[in-house]
Structure 1
Amino acid sequence: MLDYALTAFVTLIVVVDPVGIVPAFLSATHGLPDAARKGVGLRAAVIASLILAGTALIGNWLLDRLGIGLPAFRISGGILLFVVAFEMVLGTRPAREVREAEQAIEEKVRDIAAFPVATPLIAGPGAITATLLLAGRTGSDPVTLTALIAIIAVVAALCAAAFAFAGRVAKLLGVTGNVVLSRLLGVVLAALAVQFVIDGARTAFGQS
């Protein structure tokens, strides 16, 4: 349980990257008063946690209905997570997130807490894929699944905290700090993604 909880926490914290998405959050909430910005961050964290928790609860059921085996999803999910890690290492992910957030504002999205902050900044494709993969490793055990949902809530709370102090965090890290942190987290995520692919391949070949 402890090993699983640690793996789940590290995976989600690296994929979501609460500190790394602060610049995109600042861009999305540009012009808002501090109180309104904090409200948007808190609401977005709640929405994202509900999305990811729902994914953890019904993800395996949905895969079964679609006839998709967990080994296949582990391999494909690992590849997708590796793409996210590749973007982080090269530094293209933060720029893309800021650009998407700016486009959302220009298109006058009514509720920026739901879009683009909750999704895709927090509960993006990478986070949803990681949650599905982690839920698949619970073996439908209620205790382990509850632990996963609790970890999702913790990661969402960290996002809300990072958003609450977004201005200070951005100034504290600076451009260099954000770049170095993103590169390091990208390397860790790449290793986790490769491990998911290896686990999926082992299971698939073992069943064949």
Structure 2
Amino acid sequence: MIWLKDMGFWCHDMLLDYLKSAFVTLLVTIDPPGLAPIFIGLTLGMAPSQKREVAMRAVIIAFAIMALFGFAGDIVMKALGISLPAFRIAGGLLLFWISFEMVFELRARRKSNIAEEAVTIDQIRNVAAFPLAIPLMAGPGAITATILLAGRASGDWWMLSGLMLVIAGIMAITYVCFRLSEQISRLLGTTGNIVLTRLLGVILAALAVQFVIDGVLNIGK
């Protein structure tokens, strides 16, 4: 009985250590506070209700993708014949185009051409899915981390369930950061938002290039 009790404590401590490791790893990888300013730039010109919808859709899509890779990451990647380096390179190239639009105000010009029209449901869905959910939230780094953490669970359903709860918690934190971005946007004003969008475009470009570099360096590994 004493041996069983000690075994139970050991399993409990191991689960707690695993959950702590998963939480810290995914929190640092996804970086919810760092995504808030990017959310401002991507949803510039949208009404508060539309921003809320974008935020909610983005976290739901990102959670679904990460949960999928948590349960069947290796199987999905192998079935599609996609390597993680290729995923990094593709995500980087797509992200670079978004940053290019932000820096040179192509997004703002396109929006000004339809200024009299309401933002459509399709636009809201598109921004939520790309680039917010993919690759900014459920990007190569987060997917890789999820696959590795799921591998550490070794099929233990308690650990896998805990991993899903951790991912859900990170998504909830990200949603809160997105919601707070509205207050930040109001404080910055029109000029501040324009300057911030340009600056974030440059940062996004650097992040996109880093994705491509990491992908190239890891080819064949």
Instruction: Tell me if TM exceeds 0.5.
Output: yes
Deviations for 1:147-174, whole angstroms, at most 9, x for unmatched residues?
A: 3332233223212221354343354735
Deviations for 1:17-50, whole angstroms, at most 9, x for unmatched residues?
A: 43234244233x2xxxxxxx33332232122111
**Unmatched runs of 5 consecutive residues or more in structure 2:** 1-20, 154-159
Inter-CA distance 171–108: structure 2 relative to 1 (3 Å threshold): closer
Tell me the TM-score normalised to structure 2 length. Answer: 0.61
> In the aligned structure 1, how far is the partner of 2:128 from the partner of 2:89?
23
Q: Does 1:5 align with 2:5?
A: no
Question: Which residue number corresponds to residue 176 of structure 2?
Answer: 157
Alignment of 1:1-208 (within 5 A): 1=21, 4-10=25-31, 17-27=35-45, 29=46, 37-59=47-69, 61=72, 64=75, 67-68=79-80, 72-84=82-94, 86-87=96-97, 91-93=100-102, 95-98=105-108, 111=121, 114-120=124-130, 122-124=132-134, 127-130=137-140, 131-140=142-151, 141=153, 142=160, 143-171=162-190, 173-199=192-218, 201-202=220-221
Inter-CA distance 51–74: structure 2 relative to 1 (3 Å threshold): same
Contact 1:41 1:164 survives alignment (8 Å): no
> In the aligned structure 2, how far is the partner of 1:52 from the partner of 1:4?
16
Deviation at 1:53, TM superposition (A): 0.4
Q: Radius of gyration: which is bigger?
A: 2
Contact 1:52 1:123 survives alignment (8 Å): yes
Inter-CA distance 80–127: structure 2 relative to 1 (3 Å threshold): farther
> In the aligned structure 2, how far is the partner of 1:80 from the partner of 1:23?
22
Inter-CA distance 96–159: structure 2 relative to 1 (3 Å threshold): farther
> In the aligned structure 2, how far is the partner of 1:46 from the partner of 1:154?
12
Deviation at 1:80, TM superposition (A): 1.9
AA paired with 2:101?
A: T
Contact 1:59 1:135 survives alignment (8 Å): yes
Contact 1:97 1:121 survives alignment (8 Å): no
Inter-CA distance 116–167: structure 2 relative to 1 (3 Å threshold): farther
Aligned pair count reads: 188
Deviations for 1:70-115, whole angstroms, at most 9, x for unmatched residues?
A: xx431121102321454466x3346454467678888866536842
Question: Which residue number corresponds to residue 6 of structure 2?
Answer: none
Tell me the TM-score normalised to structure 1 length. Answer: 0.64
Contact 1:74 1:197 survives alignment (8 Å): no
